[in-house]
Amino acid sequence: MNRFFKLSLTVAAAALTLGAQAADYPAAGKTITIVVPFAAGGPTDKVARDLAEALRKPLGGATVVIDNAAGAGSTIGTAKVFRANPDGYTLLVTHIGIATTPALYRKLPYKVDEFEFAGLINEVPMVVVGKPSLAANNWGELKTWLVENKGKANLANAGLGAASHLCGLMLMQALQTELTTVPYKGTAPAMTDLMGGQVDVMCDQTTNTTSQIEGKRIKAYAVSTAKRITVPAVYKDLPTLDEAGLKGFNVSIWHGLYAPKGTPAAVVKAVNDALQAALKDPEFVKKEESLGAVVVNDDRATSAGHKKFVMSEIAKWGPVIKAAGQYAD
């Protein structure tokens, strides 16, 4: 048997193996675990649980469970998936943090570009909100007040690396105005103090701000996305920061689906196919809209598009975080 023929047989056998893996995935009786690197009850956990439900049908009725592995700014759970057996039965759902931790942590136990990218899930807009007693009634008035009170006005966030921290950094850079940052251990205490008037402003996800704005417990000024938000209705009259003068300002908190390095391409494709079906599930779309999230329906929902987008986000956030000189390690 010549060398070429042996090589041909090897390639053919490998192709058959990959085909079998995709055809058998998920195997009957095997549970798929989605690791969420945050505590139960938070926005990312809610997205992951909604997605798990939507994935069951396109995955042939497979059991999909959530494993909350919180800690160290999402790096513990993310590393857990990176080290997991690359067979498609351990997946990761995480947010923009996967693109910001390379700058926030100078030593990471994983390399982001070595994950298998299974597709972007959604985007959650951010909103600039203020305490109810603020005199400013629109973004123009708030901007003037922030600039005039440079160094005095304070900006709350849910902790280093949190969505509100990242949006706040970008906001200060765009305004070219330094505000006094007040970090909290989570969104709940930050929002409580904002409602109580102990802090002035915050830039946070619609998942956290909607009910408070509807209840008139905080003031809303502008949204962070390139386009206006129409759902929920409480946001429809708010300008984008871009149209209000901060040209190019576009910040959203997005969620993506990942598999460990080395997961067979055929299995990654099977996972992505299931994700594509889930993103078109009317019930899933409805649940995401109720959170103020927008389900992804463009190239970023593909594996290649997802990876390209995440790499661009790493390039975008790295300089912002480094300029702030704030690190988590």
Say what percent of the chain tops pLDDT 90: 75
Residue 241 neighbours by CB distance under 10 Å: 30
Look at residue 169 and tell me if it is in a domain.
yes
Q: Averaged over 112-129, what is the pLDDT? A: 96
Domain membership flag for residue 249: no
Q: What angle do CA 82, 250, 163 make, to 5 degrees?
A: 45
Same domain, 218 and 308: no
Domain-located, residue 310: yes
Say whether pLDDT at 139 is over 50.
yes
* 167 in the same domain as 103: no
Please indicate, yes or no, whether residues 217 and 262 belong to a single structural domain of this protein. Answer: no
List of residues 6+ apart from 246 with CB closer than 8 A: 171, 174, 175
Q: What is the pLDDT of residue 11?
A: 41
- 22: helix, coil or strand? helix
Q: DSSP state, 39?
A: -
Shared domain check, 61 and 111:
yes
CATH of residue 197's domain is 3.40.190.10
Say whether both 177 and 316 belong to one domain: no
What's the number of domains the chain is made of?
2
- CA–CA–CA angle 191, 197, 199 (5° rounding): 65
Return mean pLDDT, the chain.
Answer: 91
Torsion sign across C-alpha atoms 156, 193, 288, 91:
positive
Q: Are residues 165 and 223 in the same domain?
A: yes
Indicate whether 247 belongs to any domain. no
Do 10 and 93 lie in a common domain? Answer: yes
Q: Is the pLDDT of residue 9 over 80?
A: no
Q: What pLDDT, on a 0 to 100 scale, did the predictor assign at position 5?
A: 44
Residues 212 and 280 in one domain: no
| CA–CA distance, 226 with 239 (Å, rounded to integer) | 10
Q: Which residues pair with 68 in a beta bridge?
A: 36
Residue 245 lies in a domain: no
pLDDT of residue 292: 79
Q: What's the pLDDT at 271?
A: 98
Amino acid 40: pLDDT: 87
Q: Is residue 79 part of a domain?
A: yes
Tens digits of per-residue pLDDT, 142-201?
999 999 999 899 999 988 888 899 999 999 999 999 999 999 988 889 999 999 999 999
Identify the pLDDT of residue 7: 44
Can you give the CATH number for the domain in which 49 is found? 3.40.190.150
pLDDT at position 18 over 70: no
Query: In this predicted model, what pLDDT tens digit does every residue of 193-228 receive, in sequence order?
Result: 999 999 999 999 998 898 999 999 999 999 999 889
Residue with tokens 């505000």: 179
The better pLDDT of the pair 102, 231 is held by 102
Provide mean pLDDT across the span 11-38. 73
pLDDT at 13 over 60: no
60-109 tens-digit pLDDT: 999 999 999 998 889 999 999 999 999 999 999 999 999 999 999 989 99
- Say how far apart CA 91 and CA 318 lie, in whole Å: 25
Query: Above 80 in pLDDT, residue 10?
Result: no
117 in the same domain as 47: yes
Contact 224/167 with Cβ under 8 angstroms? yes
Task: Give me the pLDDT at residue 290, please.
Answer: 81
Strand segments, DSSP code E, in the chain are 31-36, 63-68, 90-94, 116-130, 154-157, 180-183, 201-205, 219-223, 252-259, 294-295
| Residues 199 and 309 grouped into a single domain | no
- In this structure, the chain runs to a length of 329
Which one of 179, 205, 235 terminates a domain? 235
Q: Distance between terminal CA atoms of the chain?
A: 57
Whole-angstrom distance, CA of residue 317 vs CA of residue 88: 30
**254 within 8 A of 317, measured Cβ to Cβ:** no
Residues 281 and 205 in one domain: no
Residue 245, pLDDT score = 93
Last residue of a domain, one of 235, 268, 300: 235
The token duo for 328 is 């988590």
Residue 241 lies in a domain: no
Q: What is the pLDDT of residues 31-63, one digit of tens each?
A: 999 999 988 888 889 999 999 999 999 999 999
- What is the average pLDDT across 252-264? 96
Kindly state whether residue 200 falls inside one of the protein's structural domains.
yes
- Structural domain boundaries, residue 222: 125-235
Domain shared by 146 and 56, yes or no: no
